[in-house]
Amino acid sequence: MKAKVSRSGKGWLEKKLASPKFRKGFDAEVQKLAIGEQLSQLRQEAGLTQAQVAQRAKTTASAISRYENAEYDRYELRTLQRIVLACGGRLDITMEPGPKTHRAA
C-alpha cells in the first residue's frame, strides 16, 4: 500500500524548520555538507586526485579526504585556502547578518 502524499499544507521538513532549535542544527549540517561537496567538486573539476591535491597543498591525502567528508566540522581557514588554491580555485567567505532577533539592541 502506497503512502499518501499531501500536496496541500506544509511538508515534514517545513514543519520541523519552524523550530529555531531544529533550524539551527539543520543549517549547521547543510553548511558542513556544502563545504565538503564544494571541495570535492572543485578537485574533480580540476582533474586531480586527493593525493595530488595533498601534495600541492602540502598536507596528506587523508586530510583532503577529511575535508571533503560531510561529517567533518573542524575546518581551518589556512588549510581550506591551500586546498582550494591547489585545485586552481579561489576561496570567498561571505558573512551575512542573522535574524533581527539575534541583533544587539
Q: Which three cell numbers stand for residue 88?
A: 586552481
How far, in Å, CA of 4 to CA of 75, rounded? 42
What is the per-residue pLDDT across 63-101, written as a single tens digit (0 to 9) for each?
Answer: 999 999 988 889 899 999 999 999 999 999 888 887 776
**Predicted confidence (pLDDT) at residue 9 exceeds the cutoff of 80:** no
For residue 103, the model assigns a pLDDT of 56
DSSP letter at 46 equals T
> What is the domain partition of the chain in residue ranges?
17-92
For residue 33, the model assigns a pLDDT of 63
For residue 89, the model assigns a pLDDT of 97
Mean pLDDT for 5-26 is 74
Q: What share of the chain is helix, strand, coil (3-state, %, to 5)?
A: 60, 0, 40
How far, in Å, CA of 11 to CA of 72, rounded? 29
For residue 32, the model assigns a pLDDT of 61
Superfamily of domain 17-92 in the CATH hierarchy = lambda repressor-like DNA-binding domains (1.10.260.40)
What is the per-residue pLDDT across 30-63, written as a single tens digit (0 to 9) for each?
Answer: 666 688 899 999 999 999 999 999 999 999 999 9
**Predicted confidence (pLDDT) at residue 105 exceeds the cutoff of 80:** no
